[in-house]
């Protein structure tokens, strides 16, 4: 049977592979001019404090409006941007744009939300990350305590010496650090503690089935309680239902993010959504003010 289908299947795969290869090549070429052509934009996804139901922060998620034709999601171009090193200038743009948007919202009278920005390991290796962060903060005037940098476990497992040093300096600027996709790597909580991390983001793969899978529920419950013992905050990623939200409440998880609350959206839409949803009255410590 497999043999009979063989020839056609092979041809299908080859054409498919060629199409993908061609697309990858076009994409890589186009990526080089995307920054100067102003083709990047950020979408923002709310992060909900579970106890109050209020939005306390947003995560900035990069989108590429390729040739003004289609909106390309990051999974399709970040690997290429990392290989070419373009992630360094792109990452700088993301930092600046996210900080400026956070200040814009505050000027519009919205609560003072935390803004979380994803970082690539390449930005640590090939860029001057500390300088980029300092510049984004001073250009925007954002209170450093409102900026959260999302790192991956894999970053912390390599290059340890220089990464620790950079993270130490970033922390001394007053920014916060979180571990993205927590649980998918091999690091222990005790190990992470050495990096002065503030928050763990539990990966969606653990969160998805907590309402039905006792093992996943046990894992999430254990992560939350261990994190709290180490004085780390915890946010659950990819929350898609009311059931999951309920379990997270029971497990004493601090925050949640996912389609159940809101999808990532453009900055203006987020401002409108905050007001319309009634989830906007929170924010962090209201007494703190941005520098301008």
- The contact set with ligand C2E (CB under 6 A) reads 45, 61-62, 73-75, 78, 91, 94, 118-120, 180-181, 238-240, 258-259, 264
DSSP 98-133: HHHHHHHHHHTT----EEEEE--HHHHHHS-HHHHH
61 binds, among Mg ion, ligand C2E, none (CB under 5 to 8 A by kind): ligand C2E
Q: State which residue, 15 or 159, has the beta carbon closest to ligand C2E.
A: 159
Q: CA-based angle 112:177:235, to the nearest 5?
A: 70
Cβ at position 67, least distance to ligand C2E in Å: 19
Nearer to ligand C2E among residue 120 and residue 140 (C-beta): 120
Q: Which is nearer to ligand C2E, 114 or 118 (CB)?
A: 118
Nearer to ligand C2E, 78 or 270 (CB): 78
d(CA 112, CA 107): 10
Strands (E), the chain: 40-49, 55-66, 70-72, 114-118, 147-152, 176-182, 199-202, 233-236, 255-256
Count of CB atoms situated within 10 Å of the CB of 1: 5
- Find which of ligand C2E, Mg ion, none residue 258 binds, CB within 5 to 8 Å per kind: ligand C2E
Q: What angle do CA 110, 113, 116 make, to 5 degrees?
A: 140
Q: By C-beta, is 62 or 210 nearer to ligand C2E? A: 62
**C-beta of 82 vs 143, nearer to ligand C2E:** 82
Nearest to 179 by CA among 130, 126, 230: 230
Note the residue count of the chain.
Answer: 292
**Alpha carbon distances (Å) from 212 to 96, 183, 204:** 41, 19, 14
Strand, coil or helix: what is 9? helix
Please identify, using beta-carbon distances, which residue of 180 and 255 lies nearer to Mg ion.
180
- Of 82, 150, 254, 255, the one binding Mg ion (CB under 5 A) is 150
Min dist. Cβ of residue 59 to ligand C2E (A): 7
Q: How far is the CB of 14 from Mg ion (least distance, A)?
A: 31
Q: How far apart are CA 199 and CA 188, in angstroms?
A: 14
* Number of residues forming the site for Mg ion (CB under 5 A): 5
- CA distances, 88 to each of 78, 93, 129, 154, 279 (Å): 11, 9, 9, 18, 34
Q: CA 37, CA 97: separation in Å to the nearest integer?
A: 15
Window 103-122: residues binding Mg ion (CB under 5 A): 118
Residue 152 CB, nearest approach to ligand C2E (Å): 7
Least distance (Å) from Mg ion to the CB of residue 121?
13
Minimum separation from the CB atom of position 12 to ligand C2E (A): 27
Residues 163-202 that bind Mg ion (CB under 5 A): 180-181
User: How far apart are CB 170 and Mg ion at their closest, in Å?
Assistant: 16
Q: Tell me which residues in 215-274 interact with Mg ion (CB under 5 A).
A: 237
- Binding partner selected for residue 240 from ligand C2E, Mg ion, none, CB under the kind-specific 5 to 8 Å limit: ligand C2E
**Closer of 88 and 103 to ligand C2E (Cβ):** 88
List CB contacts of 212: < 8 A, sequence separation 6 or more: none
Query: What residue ranges bind Mg ion (CB under 5 A)?
Result: 118, 150, 180-181, 237
């Amino acid at each position: 049977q497999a043999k009979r289908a063989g020839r056609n299947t092979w041809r299908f795969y080859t054409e498919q592979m060629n199409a993908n290869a061609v697309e990858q090549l076009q994409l890589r070429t186009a990526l080089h001019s995307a920054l100067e052509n102003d083709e990047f934009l950020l979408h923002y996804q709310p992060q909900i404090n579970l106890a109050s139901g209020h939005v306390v922060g947003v995560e900035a998620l990069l989108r590429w409006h390729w040739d003004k034709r289609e909106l390309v999601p990051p999974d399709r171009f970040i690997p290429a941007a990392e290989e070419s090193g373009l992630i360094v200038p792109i990452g700088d743009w993301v930092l600046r744009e996210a900080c400026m948007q956070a200040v814009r919202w505050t000027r519009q009278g919205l609560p003072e939300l935390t803004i979380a920005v994803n970082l690539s390991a390449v930005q640590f290796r090939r860029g001057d990350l500390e300088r980029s962060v300092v510049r984004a903060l001073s250009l925007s005037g954002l209170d450093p305590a409102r900026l959260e940098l999302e790192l991956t476990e894999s970053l912390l497992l390599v290059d340890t010496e220089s990464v620790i040093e950079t993270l130490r300096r970033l922390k001394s600027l007053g920014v916060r650090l979180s571990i993205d996709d927590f649980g998918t790597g091999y690091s222990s909580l005790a190990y992470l503690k050495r990096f002065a991390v503030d928050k763990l983001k539990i990966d969606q793969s653990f969160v998805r089935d907590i309402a039905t899978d006792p093992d996943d529920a046990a894992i999430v419950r254990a992560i939350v309680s261990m994190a709290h013992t180490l004085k780390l905050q915890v946010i659950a990623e990819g929350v898609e239902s009311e059931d999951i939200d309920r379990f997270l409440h029971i497990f004493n998880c601090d925050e949640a993010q996912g389609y159940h609350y809101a999808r990532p959206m453009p900055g203006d839409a987020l401002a409108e959504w905050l007001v319309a949803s009634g989830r906007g009255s929170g924010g962090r410590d209201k007494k703190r003010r941005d520098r301008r």
